[in-house]
Amino acid sequence: MPLTKPRILTYRMTGAERRFSLRTLVALSSLPLFGVVAAFGLAPDTSTTDIAPETVIEAIALPSLADAANAGTFERETVIQSGDTITSALGRLKIDALEIQRLLATDAVRQLAASLRAGKRIQATTSPDGQLLSIRFERRDGPVLTILHQGDSYIAQEDSDQIETRVVMRAGHIVSSLYGATDSAGIPDKIADKMADTFSTTLDFREDLRRGDTFSVIYTVKYRNGEPVSTGELLAAEFVNAGKVHRAVLYRDASGHESYYTPEGQSLKKGFLRSPLEFSRVTSNFSSARKHPVLGYTRAHTGVDLGAPTGTRVKATGDATVEFAGRKGGYGNLVILRHQNGYETYYGHLSAFAPGMRRGRAVSQGEIIAYVGATGIATGPHLHYEVRIAGTPYNPLTVKLPGSPSLAAAQRGRFLQQTAGWSEKLGLLRGTNLAALD
């Protein structure tokens, strides 16, 4: 009985496939509540009755033995237990000690013996008289290894690598910090960063977090031979902050550009970031008259000062062209960016510029343009940040900044086709009210 890989394990993602059928949604809702985290793969054509979380964890690709169809052969299978040696595992397959010695004389099996992993399977095929014909090993770091009996010796054969992308869903809630909670939920930092970044225009993850806030993320993980090898993309996220629901879904337009939107199609990429620094505190506010801490006399403070250590990365707050990058009086090292519609932003007292910062260069929102310092007239390391409109400085913390356009009506159908399933799932994940462990 050939064991083929259950399709539910694999949701191979091509751009065009990143959408969900109704059936898959029904399948998800029929799952028993999954403890702290839930991880499973989905195939668009899965029948709902196939899905059970246990299957996902247990089912591992195990193609049939090459000669399983031959009448008169016997198959045995065992799963490696913790504490097993290759000898004890093979012993359970009724392979005699002498044969085990001969197997261990092959390089491939010796290597395998040194990296046994509990849960991996071994299948042996024998002839009616007990002669070992072949043996297949699932391995920790590679494709399935087959050892074939040929004449008096054994030859090793490797299956080709199995690469697949699985969709993972996780949820948690905040006890003390975002990263504490995402770590507890087993969410990779890359995904936690992306979530923080995606919601950064509506939520300040340092200031606004509340104990009991909940979050859910849906993302992809690349697997090789059943082992996770790299984290892929954040597909959707939800963050419930002080009762207010924030949601994001990834949308890929026809030309391949990816961006996060609310499920209603509102762009989450704002025209401007709230702050050019990831973490900072305002040490001096915008004011029309303040006593200057160094110069001693009273004059307008045309921006905000954001306290941060020297070397902290400074991001462009909006898409722009570099207007100026160099030294300028009390500003010290200064970058001036020119944005659309007469907006300019100033970044002063910098310790250094990012490579290639020169007049005329295009920069994207969020791109690192420079590093915090204390050049020019400054009492300590901080970023002086200004927003000017048609040359006049406005308070960056309160000025109304232009937003990003929402989705064009023509894209609506495509958008919903790609993202509606994720939105539904975010709701279902929240319903599970998963526990945080931190």
Q: Taking the complex as a whole, how short is the minimal distance between the CB of residue 367 and Zn ion, in angstroms?
A: 22
Q: How many residues does the chain have?
A: 438
**Pick 380 or 405: Cβ nearer Zn ion:** 380
Residue 42 · residue 29 · CB < 8 Å: no
Q: Which stretch in 4-12, 107-115, 376-384, 424-432 sits in contact with Zn ion by CB under 5 A?
A: 376-384
Q: Taking the complex as a whole, how short is the minimal distance between the CB of residue 293 and Zn ion, in angstroms?
A: 9
Dig out the tokens for 26 from the structure.
């029904």
**Pick 302 or 419: Cβ nearer Zn ion:** 302
Q: Taking the complex as a whole, how short is the minimal distance between the CB of residue 263 and Zn ion, in angstroms?
A: 39
Q: Which stretch in 258-266, 322-330, 337-345, 381-389 sits in contact with Zn ion by CB under 5 A?
A: 381-389
Cα–Cα distance, 230 to 370 (Å, whole number): 30
Cα–Cα distance, 394 to 270 (Å, whole number): 18
Return the closest-CA partner of residue 237 out of 412, 366, 425: 425
- Our finding on whether 386 is near Zn ion (CB under 5 A) is no
Residue closest to Zn ion (Cβ) = 384
Which of the residues 264 through 323 are near Zn ion (CB under 5 A)? Answer: 305
Q: Is 338 helix (H, G, I), strand (E, B) or coil?
A: strand
Burial class (CB in 10 A: 0-12, 13-18, 19+), 395: middle
Buried residues in 9-40 as b, exposed as e (16+ CB within 10 A): bbbebeeeebebeeebbebbeeeeebeebbbb
**Pick 305 or 424: Cβ nearer Zn ion:** 305
**Pick 18 or 384: Cβ nearer Zn ion:** 384
* Helix-helix angle 412-431:22-29, to 10 degrees: 10
Q: Taking the complex as a whole, how short is the minimal distance between the CB of residue 329 and Zn ion, in angstroms?
A: 13
**Pick 238 or 386: Cβ nearer Zn ion:** 386
Q: Taking the complex as a whole, how short is the minimal distance between the CB of residue 307 and Zn ion, in angstroms?
A: 11
Return the closest-CA partner of residue 385 out of 277, 271, 269, 272: 277
Distances, alpha carbon 354 to alpha carbons 236, 308, 322, 382, 384, in Å: 31, 17, 12, 17, 17
143 phi and psi, to 5 degrees?
A: -70, 170
Q: Taking the complex as a whole, how short is the minimal distance between the CB of residue 347 and Zn ion, in angstroms?
A: 11
Cα–Cα distance, 205 to 294 (Å, whole number): 32
The binding track of 151-190 with respect to Zn ion, each residue x by CB under 5 A or -, is ----------------------------------------
Q: Taking the complex as a whole, how short is the minimal distance between the CB of residue 301 and Zn ion, in angstroms?
A: 6
Dig out the tokens for 304 from the structure.
């905000």
**Pick 244 or 290: Cβ nearer Zn ion:** 290
Q: Taking the complex as a whole, how short is the minimal distance between the CB of residue 305 and Zn ion, in angstroms?
A: 4
**Pick 238 or 305: Cβ nearer Zn ion:** 305
Q: Taking the complex as a whole, how short is the minimal distance between the CB of residue 237 and Zn ion, in angstroms?
A: 35
140 phi and psi, to 5 degrees?
A: -75, -45
Cα–Cα distance, 251 to 265 (Å, whole number): 9
**Pick 3 or 377: Cβ nearer Zn ion:** 377
Cα-trace Rg, the chain:
29
Q: Which stretch in 167-175, 226-234, 327-335, 382-390 sits in contact with Zn ion by CB under 5 A?
A: 382-390
Q: Taking the complex as a whole, how short is the minimal distance between the CB of residue 297 and Zn ion, in angstroms?
A: 15
Place of tokens 């050019």: 276
Q: Which stretch in 5-13, 244-252, 273-281, 378-386 sits in contact with Zn ion by CB under 5 A?
A: 378-386
Q: Where are the beta strands (DSSP E) in 274-340?
A: 281-284, 287-291, 298-301, 304-307, 313-315, 320-327, 333-338
**Pick 379 or 433: Cβ nearer Zn ion:** 379
Q: Taking the complex as a whole, how short is the minimal distance between the CB of residue 304 and Zn ion, in angstroms?
A: 7
Binding Zn ion (rule: CB under 5 A), the pick from 247, 384, 388, 425 is 384
**Pick 69 or 295: Cβ nearer Zn ion:** 295
Q: Taking the complex as a whole, how short is the minimal distance between the CB of residue 370 and Zn ion, in angstroms?
A: 15
**Pick 286 or 353: Cβ nearer Zn ion:** 286
Size of site (CB under 5 A) for Zn ion: 2
**Pick 306 or 436: Cβ nearer Zn ion:** 306
CB contact set of 69 (below 8 Å; sequence gap of 6+): none
Binding site for Zn ion (CB under 5 A): 305, 384
